[in-house]
């Protein structure tokens, strides 16, 4: 059974995407990260917070569960529902994906699910937003893995075939329950899809690309499946800390978040923050903007030239 959430009385639903928090030890840099998160939460008062991977960056000297609890403390204190997906660094020391997802699920206000055990990874699941009559929006969450599973291929992992098949099954099931009509959706991943690079090279994106797109070298076809299903309106990733652009590729908006954590690489002229996503009941599409730790709101309306 998918978790179901509802719109506010005014018909809005606001999501904050925190990404690449990279919580490590709770000391000075993590406290600065927490200050960024506090500013964003104060400004936006979200209905859901989504952590899109690399929430923690454990080492041999740290307790991963304690780090996770510290990293999400502000959200829990405010009673905000929150969802989590894995990045490539979250389980680098002293913990498995199964152990960490179970610890995440045990926290207050967490709406994270482990998902079907038969699937590659942990934390492939769906959240529905709607009312008693049915679902208006579906949110898909994917574990995008770590490194390539094939020794002869360098680089990062890709969304596997079983995960894509699962997504198609879920999409068809939601449509069947909706009288045959497609249920619009958003998708959250950590590692960007190869289409993020293709879209940038074509031009017309909004925002910054200050490093290469660190996507898998193999294109496993998740984007194609989304096109064929016709439900996903936008995807949201992290992973690349100084990219924050978005664009439209064959009708789907591919969006980066804004890196949140200070305990990792970045740039002094690229303040940390978050992406905000606003849904409106009964209205197609979504609006999105960045909210920085300085309090500044960035609309990202100006498109880069082709």
**Is the model's pLDDT at 284 over the cut of 80?**
yes
Predicted local confidence at residue 119, as pLDDT: 98
**Mean pLDDT, residues 81-110 taken together:** 96
Burial class (CB in 10 A: 0-12, 13-18, 19+), 21: buried
pLDDT at 256 over 70: yes
Q: What is the pLDDT of residue 253?
A: 98
Q: What confidence score (pLDDT) does residue 296 get?
A: 98
Average confidence (pLDDT) over 116-133 = 92
Mean pLDDT of 108-113: 98
CB-facing half-sphere around the CA of 200: CA atoms within 13 A: 20
pLDDT-derived band at 303 (thresholds 50, 70, 90) equals confident
Distance CA 207, CA 203 (A): 11
| Distance from C-alpha of 2 to C-alpha of 4, rounded to nearest angstrom | 6
pLDDT band at 60 (very low <50, low <70, confident <90, very high): confident
Indicate the pLDDT class of residue 206, thresholds 50, 70 and 90: very high
Q: Any idea which of 131-135, 255-259, 295-299 has the lowest mean pLDDT?
A: 131-135
Distance CA 214, CA 207 (A): 17
| Spatial distance between the Cα atoms of 207 and 151, rounded to a whole number of angstroms | 35
Residue 159 pLDDT: 97
Query: Computed from CA positions of residues 265, 277, 228, 176, in that sequence, does the dihedral angle turn out positive or negative?
Result: positive
**Span 187-211, average pLDDT:** 97
Element (H, E) at 30: helix 28-44
Is the pTM higher than 0.75? The answer reads: yes
Tokens of 139: 């949110």
Q: What percent of the chain has pLDDT over 70?
A: 98
pLDDT of residue 145: 95
What Cα–Cα distance (Å) separates residue 264 from each residue in 27, 138, 193? 13, 32, 22
Enumerate the domain spans of the chain: 3-298
pLDDT digits (tens, 9 = 90+) for 17-44: 999 999 999 999 999 999 999 999 999 9
What confidence score (pLDDT) does residue 132 get?
64
**pLDDT for 131 beyond 80:** no
CATH of range 3-298; options 3.90.79.10, 3.90.76.10, 3.30.56.10, 3.60.21.10: 3.60.21.10
Joined tokens for residue 42 = 């104060």
Token pair for 190: 């950590």
Closest C-alpha to 143, from 128, 129, 164: 164
What pLDDT does 134 receive?
Answer: 67
Tell me what the pLDDT averaged over the chain comes to.
96
Q: State yes or no: pLDDT of 251 exceeds 90.
A: yes
Token couple for 128: 């529905």
Would you say the C-alpha torsion 24, 211, 43, 100 has a positive or negative sign?
A: negative
């Amino acid at each position: 059974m998918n978790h179901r959430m509802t719109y506010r009385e005014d018909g809005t639903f606001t999501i904050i995407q925190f990404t690449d928090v990279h919580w490590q030890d709770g000391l000075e840099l993590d406290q600065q990260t927490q200050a960024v998160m506090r500013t964003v939460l104060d400004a936006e008062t979200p209905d859901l917070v989504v952590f899109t991977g690399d929430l923690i960056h454990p080492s041999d000297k740290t307790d991963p569960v304690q780090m996770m609890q510290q990293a999400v403390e502000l959200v829990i204190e405010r009673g905000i529902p929150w969802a989590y997906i894995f990045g490539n660094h979250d389980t680098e020391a002293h913990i498995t994906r199964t152990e960490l997802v179970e610890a995440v699920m045990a926290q207050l206000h967490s709406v994270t699910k482990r998902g079907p055990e038969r699937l590659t990874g942990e934390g492939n699941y769906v959240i529905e937003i709607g009312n008693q009559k049915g679902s208006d929006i579906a949110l898909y969450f994917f574990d995008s893995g770590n490194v390539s599973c094939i020794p002869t291929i360098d680089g990062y992992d890709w969304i596997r075939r079983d995960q894509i098949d699962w997504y198609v099954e879920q999409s068809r099931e939601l449509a069947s329950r909706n009288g045959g009509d497609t249920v619009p959706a958003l998708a959250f991943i950590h590692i960007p899809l190869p289409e993020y690079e293709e879209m940038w090279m074509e031009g017309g994106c909004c925002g910054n690309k200050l490093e290469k797109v660190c996507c898998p070298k193999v294109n496993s076809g998740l984007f194609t499946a989304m096109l064929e299903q016709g439900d996903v309106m936008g995807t949201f990733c992290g992973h690349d800390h100084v990219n924050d652009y978005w664009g439209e590729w064959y009708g789907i908006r591919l969006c980066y978040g804004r890196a949140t954590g200070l305990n990792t690489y970045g740039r002094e002229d690229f303040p940390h923050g978050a992406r905000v996503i606003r849904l409106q009941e009964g209205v197609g599409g979504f609006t999105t903007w960045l909210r920085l730790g300085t309090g500044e709101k960035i609309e990202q309306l100006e498109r880069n030239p082709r």
